[in-house]
Structure 1
Amino acid sequence: MSALDERRPLTSRPSPPSLHSYARARLDAEPDGRWPEGCYPPPERALPPDDAGASDLAAPLRHREAVAAVQEALGPLLGSPGPAPGDDLGTTAGLVRHRLAGLPVTGRSVAAAVADLPLPDEPAARALGRHLVRTAPDLASAHVGVALLQRVGEPADVPSLRVLGLVRGLTRGAVRALERLDARAAALLHLTCHTERPGLRVLADACASGDPRAAAAALIDDPLGIDAVSPTQARLLAEAADLAGLLRGGRVDPRLSVQAGRLLVRMASQRDYRTELLRYRDAVEVFDTVVRRACGLPPTVERAAVLLSLALDLDSGPSHLLPWRAGQREQLLDALGALLTSPEWAALPDRADGSAPPGERHRAAWLRGAAERLSAPRQAPPGRLRIEVVAHDPVDREPVETRFLIDGRPLVPEVFGRGPGHSPEYLLDSGDLAATEEPREVQLAEAWCSEGCCGALGVTVVREGGEVVWRDWRLPARLPDGSPAPSLPAYRFDAAAYDAELARAVREDGWSWPARDTGRLLSSGLRARPELLARWDARPLHAGVDTRDPYTTVLWFLYRPGIFEGEDDERGPWLPFVWRLPDDGAEPHERAAAALRRLAEEDPRGYAECRGGGR
């Protein structure tokens, strides 16, 4: 049936109530004019027939097939000159509903299909999108309207998108459309529909109130810790509260400046699928304001930890990639270095004496060591490559990461962005980055979820005469924001400069702490003497620190009969073990030597803990 054939019967059908009017009525009924605590479930009439209980429809198409089906159905409507104002607009909207009604597709597929369709008449597409957002009675056609406004919407569309986004199933699309038009409205909608922690609910309500004083007070009162606020939530809170605007005032509570810095630190975290700091539009302004105001603050350990974290990120982390003015980042970094090494601030870590708990002593050592490394005068590496090992504030429990800067640009967040660089044990202690004439594949970083889920960043390292070459890059086809990943060239480094920089990075171990030092020494000893475990039909898996207790050294090893004889069968029985070595106050080299002696003398299966295994 052609579009013309469909118009007559469609124009005579009364339209059911729209999802927008449904959401508006629910919102108007909220007590005290507050926004809801979560999304509204769509009315049953708005669901596709299979969701409403029908069993005679085909199963949903696969995503690619569904996108193609939607584009075939809607292409003629969206790719032709737009309808005239009046009834024709409603008729076109009816055709959209009619053509989607029989397709077994999801809202995600509808949105993806509309995102890739050509729109030769943008004003007509905008008019149709607005009409669907305000009048669509079903999820499928509402998705079309939201997807159109995501592409061609204007600020006038913000109120209707924010209301329609309160309907469950439409929130994600509405947030994406709002992000282009009004970041604060997008953040408020996201927090409204996806906030479960009570404290975060209070913050969201304060931000939504429109009262700057209430938003500032709520931010000051919340701990904003790693277990309370994710990197995404940190960005959303900053946008919803208009953090940059709150900091512009002449008299700002110093506690708000510290909380702003803490939010920036959380946004810079790579314990997520993308670096939220690079999505925060006001990041440069907030960074600049926080650093300038820090110079007038009295020193505390908490403030020093926040400022040092910001400095480490400015030096070699994701914030290096923000759109700074010429020399601005370097000025901020110099200011932080001078402040943190001034006598009053530098004395803070010394207040944690030897009787303090391990965590407090570790944080004090981190503050002292990281600030000294950051401010120490040091010439740039002679070659194109700079390698830095960065340990974060122990309170934040971020992984220790290896960072690579090529020609001054941080490699991993710029070309990968799905997780931090691997640990120094994995990349430096192992010797994998040492270049030989035999090419070696090295994985530099892995997605926070896993390589199998979102990929990894890998490269082949090889020595060619007087040069070391990084070539044959392996990385996901797209960056976390959906844009194509860059096509990386073969990077060539002077071999002598490369070897010197690698040796320096291996040698500088001030980022570590006793339990981790013990694990590194234990791992090195087992690499040098593999027979220590092999004689017990075992081989090492990992030596390091406990993920839940960073002050306990652990050795993981695998038992499999036949290892000693070189005849172990991977299909045969196996058992993983973990040996925990709590910190007893001895020096790391003494603890590691004692552990190696015990492995030589006693079967570790007798004192390690068995943790699962095959039948």
Structure 2
Amino acid sequence: MIQAAAGAVEDLDRLCEQMRTIQYHWGLRLENADGELGLEPETIRTIALHLLRRGVTTLELMTGLDLLNAVVADEDIELIREIALLQGDFGYAASKLLKTRSHPGQSLHWLAVRSSLPDQTTYTDALAALSAEDIESLLAVLDVADLVELLRMMSHRSHTPTWIKGSKQFTSALALAAKRPELFGPGPSGLTGIAQVRDDLLYGHSAFLDIEQGLRASIARDLLAALQAPEACALVSAALALDPHDSDAIWLHQYIERANDNEGDFPPGLAIRIAVPAPATRQPPRTHLVADGVPLVTSMFDLGVPDNPLRLLHRKQGLRALAEAHEVWLSEADCTEGCCGVLAAQIRRDEAMGQVLWEVRATRSRSEPARFAFNADEYDAEVARAEEDRSWEWPALRTARLLNQRLREEPSLLSRWDCRNGGAGSSNSDRSIMGLFLWHPEPPSRDRPWLQFEYQVEVLDSITIDSGAVADQVEEVVENLRSTDPKSVGRVCGGSQKHAEALGYPWPPSR
């Protein structure tokens, strides 16, 4: 079909018309267009540009990008960037083309600041991998506001780019921006940016700038002062007045209230800090482990982020130290443990020395494990404090925690309906919903059909958690489970058509 369109404009228009009748599938991608088609480069370029300029379907545009891959020129950069703004697969394919052009950092940065998560990650990943020459070319044209925004965007990634480590340019920009908060942008989104950059300075990539702990603490205090300024608090109050259940405004209010002026002055030993990323990031809470002022996970593991406190602190033994060593996962690779491993710590207590000993290693790395020794009394006190701290929860998450506890105490609430508890929870991306996941008749098994159901309850977000209201909500769910089969009110969210048919449920699941 493509070879036949190598001639006049009308042939190219006819190619577009034909392609519009074909449903797009990734299997139609051209991996090696110049070799597969046997056409001259000039002809391939003509077809590619026609598809990109006149195409209206995914197949036309993706084929155009695939064809252009072999014959792309600097003059195509503007067109490629415009198509990349369609996001998704378009952005990923376009970024591969842009990385081969002059000054790729400028194009990738241009796209990153115009994209929302998760599409932004496509460009920040590409920026992180740029050569020293290409990143220097980009940084040369960025002003202070651009530099701190680049730090903010990079804070969402697991891997610390080499060009952040030891950078004097970013350190100077961050110190200046902390004194001039208007550089973060206007309104609540600017305040959110300040909070994100502050957390990154304390626990993330920016902790590895060319920065001493005293300066790090000073900049953190300046950033907090900007958030606590009367005009900033007035912005948050106005947003809450418009919508008292606005999770992003609630998050900002709580961040400002809970942040500590002394956060950058980490004591010797282990400090445990729980941080909830802004809801707009769609990321779960993180348990930051700071060893002698250094963020442990960020420094040792570039494949994942610090683990959720619900797992790290509250599953089994957590971080508590006994004479017998036990292993704890501090971070799991973004792609799962089975693929790229975890950062794991062997924890044990040495009573004779009065110490808690950690041996930390990345399971898929050949590097020697890192060893830490903490004063046992101080360690125990810090772990106990972190375990007792529930100030980071939101109403739906606390409801889920207490419901899980109740279901463990009364397993018959679900077993009477031939269900098993898959866990109640609430996502940071939708903090007004508590979801209870159920297996029927039991967790996945090769020996019998199974389905997964989700039973949802609305629990509106709020600045403070009303313990009585949470307890009432849990009781209401429990009473419903006593009298009503949750499968009759929940939605199927896992399984297969074969299993659904065997168990007598419709497929596909309702949305």
Partner of 2:116: 225
Q: CA deviation at 1:436?
A: 3.7
- Counterpart-to-counterpart distance in 2, 1:191 and 1:416: 37
Structure 2 residue 439 is the aligned partner of structure 1 residue 558: yes
Which of 289, 313, 329 aligns to 1:428? It is 313
Structure 2 residue 205 is the aligned partner of structure 1 residue 318: yes
Q: Deviations over 1:54-87 (max 9, x none)?
A: xxxxxxxxxxxxxxxxxxxxxxxxxxxxxxxxxx
Which of 217, 228, 234 aligns to 1:330? It is 217
Greater gyration radius: 1
Partner of 2:387: 506
> Does 285-294 or 389-398 show the bigger shift?
285-294
Q: CA deviation at 1:241?
A: 8.4
Structure 2 residue 486 is the aligned partner of structure 1 residue 604: yes
Which of 146, 170, 175 aligns to 1:286? It is 170
* Number of aligned residues: 417
Q: CA deviation at 1:314?
A: 0.6
What TM-score comes out, normalization by structure 1 length?
Answer: 0.57
Q: Deviations over 1:90-143 (max 9, x none)?
A: xxxxxxxxxxxxxxxxxxxxxxxxxxxxxxxxxxxxxxxxxxxxxxxxxxxxxx
Contact 1:457–1:474 (8 Å) recurs in 2: yes
Partner of 1:449: 335
Q: CA deviation at 1:205?
A: 8.0
Q: CA RMSD in A?
A: 4.6
- Counterpart-to-counterpart distance in 1, 2:308 and 2:154: 21
Q: Deviations over 1:21-55 (max 9, x none)?
A: xxxxxxxxxxxxxxxxxx996854xx9xxx99xxx
Partner of 2:179: 295
The residue correspondences of 1:204-603 to structure 2 (distance < 5 A) are 219=110, 222-230=113-121, 231-235=124-128, 242-247=137-142, 257-270=144-157, 274-280=158-164, 284-293=168-177, 295-298=179-182, 300-324=187-211, 327-353=214-240, 355-356=242-243, 358=245, 361-377=246-262, 384-433=269-318, 434-465=320-351, 467=354, 469-471=356-358, 473-478=360-365, 485-489=367-371, 491-546=372-427, 549-560=430-441, 571-583=447-459, 587-603=469-485
- Counterpart-to-counterpart distance in 2, 1:529 and 1:283: 55
Contact 2:288–2:297 (8 Å) recurs in 1: yes
Structure 1 residues 241 and 227: alpha-carbon distance in aligned structure 2, compared to 1, 3 A threshold: farther
Aligned AA for 2:378? A
- Counterpart-to-counterpart distance in 2, 1:507 and 1:514: 17
- Counterpart-to-counterpart distance in 1, 2:101 and 2:445: 62
Contact 2:217–2:265 (8 Å) recurs in 1: no
Contact 1:435–1:463 (8 Å) recurs in 2: yes
- The gaps in structure 1 that reach 5 residues or longer are 1-38, 53-165, 172-187, 479-483
Partner of 1:182: none
Identical residues among aligned pairs (%)? 25
- Counterpart-to-counterpart distance in 2, 1:407 and 1:369: 27
Structure 1 residues 427 and 208: alpha-carbon distance in aligned structure 2, compared to 1, 3 A threshold: same
Structure 1 residues 277 and 302: alpha-carbon distance in aligned structure 2, compared to 1, 3 A threshold: farther
Contact 1:405–1:411 (8 Å) recurs in 2: yes
Contact 2:355–2:373 (8 Å) recurs in 1: yes
- Counterpart-to-counterpart distance in 1, 2:85 and 2:362: 39
Aligned AA for 2:159? T
Q: Deviations over 1:555-603 (max 9, x none)?
A: 1122336x9xxxx988444332211112357843332232233334443
Q: CA deviation at 1:195?
A: 9.7
- The gaps in structure 2 that reach 5 residues or longer are 1-29, 39-67, 503-511
Contact 1:553–1:581 (8 Å) recurs in 2: yes
Structure 1 residues 386 and 210: alpha-carbon distance in aligned structure 2, compared to 1, 3 A threshold: closer
